[in-house]
Each structure stands twice: as structure tokens, then as C-alpha cells.
Amino acid sequence: MNVLAIVGSNLVTRVNDAGYVMDLLLRTAMAVRYVPRRLRFTLDMAFNAGVRALPVTMVVAAFAGAILAMQTGIELRRFGDTTVLGTITALSMCREMGPFITGVILAATVGSSMAAEIGTMKVSDEVAVLEVMSVDPVNYLVLPRVIALAIMCPTLTVLSNLIGIYGGSVIAENNLAVSNELFWNSAREALTSSGTLLPKEVYVGLLKALLFGIAIAIVSCAAGLRASGGALGVGLAVQTAVRNSVILIIVLGFIVTWFFYFLAG
Amino acid sequence: MIALRDVFKRLGDRQILAGLSLNVPKGTNFVLMGPSGTGKSVTLKHVIGILKPDSGSVRVDGQEVPTMDHDQLMALRRRMGYLFQNGALINWLSVEDNVALPLKEHGRLPKGELQDRVMEVLRLVGMDHAAKQFPPSISGGMKLRAGLARALVTKPECVLYDEPNAGLDPIISQQIHELIKEVRDTLGVTGLIVTHSRACATICGDHIGILEHGKLAVEGTVDEMVHSEHPLAKAFLGGGAD
């Protein structure tokens, strides 16, 4: 009975949390018309997010690309066909690895900092101050952060893709005897062969990055806005923000891939 | 101006307000005292519409606050100021930007007039010299004075003060008390002041009420309360208080 009560109570808390995040997302969407008014703050936020996450993203992307090329190359060498290594590395980076790596790093660096900033404001009555001054905290605090990450996550993903493919090319040439020219030609062919402006792999990856950026910002702001109880509450808000962002990145990544490659063909 | 009638409020498993009634006439300061956790700050949050009562009436200028829609509540809040315990300044904005925030957000004044108005209230609270400084680099007393300037910048008809001298030394406290009094006397602003301080209550107040078990245990003019034989009045306002 006690176990049931605990499970039930946890379930109710999770549903409440999810409801709050969805409500915040809707209120943010309805505040989008105020973006021009918040432009300067939004650009500041985007710049800070980019600067904070760029070095880590680049290092992780380079090694992820290298590992991808290494693991794939080992198997391809057994079958005697390493010529498609560039294709596989480029498509994997653009479709999955680039957005995933960027999302996780943004959640850890920028999302955590958003939750801490807003959480600290919440526990020190700064959010209440906005409310009593008739300033909507969603419009003032959440909207610029969501737009900033919606811009920066795809931007960093593009860089992440390029650096990842480059990391793969270094391994391909030095460890798998695939020349740089062959690797890059194969990668370029894979990314330009479709009839559309951008190949499906690229735009699906960028769509994922856009969704990840919005999800990280909303989840992190929601955690901050629900913080209570001083420093301990802010710490819990940061933990919640990073944990929920990573879970959402994986779930959203799966849903988008499933939709574009299985449902919509 | 502010009238609460039979207000009940439960938060979690605690009954915070249990039939609270009080009346704050226009242009006067009402001081709300009482032991910690008796619902003083909760009362202020009902007046500004952050909390809604479980039952009872909260009226500001005859308008029922709990039944107001979003726009009415926003309009009401624009006519009121609220001074938080620690000033609650936004850390990434300078003192002048903090004070200018409500004016900028509601687009009430052209830029030049806005700047003049901000400097005018900063001078009133003696903070004009620190206009460009940021909250982390100023003292607690300066934060409170900047918070008061922000509460006054919109020329409110009423200001709610939540422990305006908490954690301040006696000299700075005295300055804050004089300011609150001056705001009432020169600007005619109505005040509802939550405090534990005898000095704050006697200097700033016209009426004093002491909360116990969620409602006023005793209330009266400053003179009546200072000489009251009620145990709570003696504890909070007697010679040994403060």
C-alpha cells in the first residue's frame, strides 16, 4: 500500500511538472510577438550561450567524429570497403551525433546556468518583484532565453557537424589508409546528392537541434521558476533542468528520427 | 483604501490567516506586527493579488482583488508599489535600470522624462550618487533604498513594505523610517508596513495592528498601542521592545 502511495504520489508530481512545462511553452509561444522588444537581451543571451558552449562542443564533436570513423572503419576494413567511410561519418554526424552532442553540452552548460539564474531570482523574490510591477516573467525572463537557444543550438550543430567530420577525416587518413580527398569527396557526395536545397539528413538534424534548443531552455526556465527553499532549492532546480533536458533530447531525437525515416518515409 | 474582511488562507497543512480583518484609510500608514509565521507577508501578498484567499474579502479602493481578471490585476499593480525585505533588485541591472524597469516595461514616459523621473526618486532616497552601480556592489541599506525608489517611481497611490528594516543597523534603519514617513507626508502615499521593529512602527505608523493566530489580536493608534496593557502590545511596543 505504501509502495502504491509513493508511486502514485511520484506520478502525480511528474504529471504536474510536465503540465507546468507545457503551460510555460504555450505562454512563451504566445509571447513571441514581444521578441523585437527583447532583441538586445536575446542577442546577449545567444552570444553568451554560444561562447560558453563553443569550446566544449568543438572538442567533443572532434573526438566523437574520430571515434565514429574509427569504429566504422574497423568494421568496413574487414569487408574491404573503406571508401564509404566519409559518407557514413558525414550522415551520422548530421543526422544524429551533431545535434545530440550539441544538445547535451548546451543542457549541461547553458541550461544549468539558466536554471541557476532564474532559480536564484525566484528564491530571492526577484521574480515576485516582476509580478508586482506587472512585468510578465515569461515575457521578460523566459522568452529571450528560448529564442537564444533556438538560434544557437542549430548554429552550434552546424559547427559541430563540420568539426566531427573533420575529426573523422583525420582518423581515416592516419589510421585507416583512406585519403583525405576520398573521405571528403564521399562526405560531400552524401550531403549534396538529393534534389532538395539541403539533404534530408541535414535538415532533419537541424530540426532536431532547433527542438533541442527550445526544449532545453523551456525545461531549464521551468525548473528555475519552480525553485524554492534557498540554495538547496536552486541546486535541485539545476539538477532537474539537466536531467530533464537530457531525457527530452533523447526522446525528441527518437521521435523526429522515427517520424522522418519510418512514418513519413 | 485597503480593506480586508474575514480573510482565511491555508497554505499546505497550516492555517495562516483565520478571519483577518483590517482597514487602511487613504494617506495613512498601517503597521502590521506579530510573531514570525503569523501571516504578515502573506497578508501583503493578498493585497497585491499574488495570493488569493480561501474565503473573505480583499478590497483596494473598493475593488475586490481576488475576483479581478489578469488585466484588472495588472492595472491595480501599476497603481501600487511593493518594497521587498532585501530590496530584491535584479542583479544584472544597474541601480538606475532597476528603478527605471517599471516605467520602461509599461512605456509610460519618453526617454528624457523617464531619466529625469528616475533621478528624481533616486535623489529622494539619497541614492543618486550610486545610480550606475550594480546590486552586488552596494550595501543592504542601499539596496533597500533603491528598492524603495523603484516602488515609488510609478507614483503609486499605495506602497506595501515587507520588513523594510530587516537586517539593517540602527542608523540606516532610522533613515529608512524617515523616508517612509516622508513618502506618506509629502506624497500622500498610503502604506501597509510589515515589521518587527518598535521604532519602525512608532515612527512610520498611524495605526498598528498585531497579528496572532491568523487575525488581529489587538489594534489601535500608535499612542493607544504604546500604552496598551495587552501582552502582545507590551511585548512588541513596550519599553524593552526592539
CA-to-CA distance for A20 and A27, rounded, in angstroms? 10
Please tell me what DSSP assigns to residue B6.
Answer: E
Please tell me what DSSP assigns to residue B136.
Answer: G
- Looking at residue B36, its pLDDT comes to 85
User: Mutation test of the interface with chain B: which of A45, A125, A134, choosing the one with the most B Cβ atoms within 10 A?
Assistant: A134
The range of the structural domain enclosing residue B55 comes to 1-66+157-193+215-242
| Rounded (5°) CA angle A238-A239-A243 | 115
By mean pLDDT, which of A133-142, A197-206, B112-121, B213-222 is the weakest?
A197-206
- Classify residue A227: in a domain, yes or no: yes
CB contact under 8 A, B102 and A133: yes
Q: Does A128 touch chain B (CB under 8 A)?
A: yes
Surface-to-core class of residue A79, CB atoms within 10 Å of its CB (0-12 exposed, 13-18 middle, 19+ buried): exposed
User: Mutation test of the interface with chain A: which of B41, B90, B103, choosing the one with the most A Cβ atoms within 10 A?
Assistant: B90
- Classify residue B78: in a domain, yes or no: no
Residue B89's closest CA among B126, B138, B44, B48?
A: B138
CB contact under 8 A, B74 and A134: yes
CB contact under 8 A, A134 and B88: no
CA-to-CA distance for A47 and A145, rounded, in angstroms? 11
**Cell numbers standing for residue B126:** 539619497
Structure ipTM = 0.82
- Classify residue B75: in a domain, yes or no: no
* Model confidence pLDDT, tens digit, residues B166-193: 777 888 788 888 889 988 998 889 999 9
User: Is the entire prediction scored with pTM above 0.80?
Assistant: yes
Closest residue in A to B73 (Cα–Cα) = A134
Residue B242 pLDDT greater than 60, yes or no: no
- Classify residue B138: in a domain, yes or no: yes
- Classify residue B201: in a domain, yes or no: no
Is there a contact between A230 and A123 (Cβ–Cβ < 8 Å)?
yes
Is there a contact between B107 and B113 (Cβ–Cβ < 8 Å)?
no
The range of the structural domain enclosing residue A247 comes to 38-263
Q: Does A133 touch chain B (CB under 8 A)?
A: yes
Q: Given the C-alpha cell 589508409, which residue does it identify?
A: A177
- Classify residue B82: in a domain, yes or no: no
Closest residue in B to A34 (Cα–Cα) = B105
Chain B environment of A131 (Cβ under 8 Å):
50, 77
B61 plus B97 within the same structural domain: no
- Classify residue A253: in a domain, yes or no: yes
CA-to-CA distance for B40 and B242, rounded, in angstroms? 18
Residue A30's closest CA among A142, A114, A162?
A: A142
Q: Given the C-alpha cell 484567499, which residue does it identify?
A: B53
Closest residue in B to A118 (Cα–Cα) = B90
Give the mean pLDDT of B142-156.
90
Closest residue in A to B75 (Cα–Cα) = A134
B127 plus B184 within the same structural domain: no
Name the pLDDT band for B23 (thresholds 50, 70, 90).
very high
Gap from B206 CA to chain A (nearest CA, Å)? 25
**Cell numbers standing for residue B45:** 501578498
CB contact under 8 A, B84 and A135: no
Chain A environment of B69 (Cβ under 8 Å):
none
* Model confidence pLDDT, tens digit, residues A1-60: 688 899 998 899 889 989 999 999 999 999 999 999 899 999 999 999 998 899 999 999
Q: Which of B155, B170, B203 is the last residue of a domain?
A: B155
Chain B environment of A126 (Cβ under 8 Å):
88-91
- Looking at residue A78, its pLDDT comes to 87
CA-to-CA distance for A86 and A182, rounded, in angstroms? 8
Name the residue among A124, A131, A135 with its Cβ closest to that of B50: A131
Q: Provide the percentage of residues in chain B whose pLDDT is more than 90.
A: 55
Q: Provide the percentage of residues in chain A whose pLDDT is more than 70.
A: 97
Gap from B149 CA to chain A (nearest CA, Å)? 13
- Classify residue B202: in a domain, yes or no: no
User: Which residues are CB-neighbours of B165 under 8 A, at least 6 positions away?
Assistant: B144, B172, B173, B176, B177, B195, B197, B199, B200
Name the residue among B77, B85, B86 with its Cβ closest to that of A133: B77
- Classify residue A119: in a domain, yes or no: yes
CB contact under 8 A, A129 and B105: no
| Axis crossing angle, helix B95-106 with helix B140-152, rounded to the nearest 10 | 20
- Classify residue A20: in a domain, yes or no: no
Please give the single-letter amino acid code of residue A42.
Answer: T
User: Mutation test of the interface with chain B: which of A123, A132, A141, A143, choosing the one with the most B Cβ atoms within 10 A?
Assistant: A132
B133 plus B167 within the same structural domain: no
Number of domains in chain A: 1
Give the mean pLDDT of A159-173.
95
Chain A environment of B106 (Cβ under 8 Å):
134
Number of domains in chain B: 2
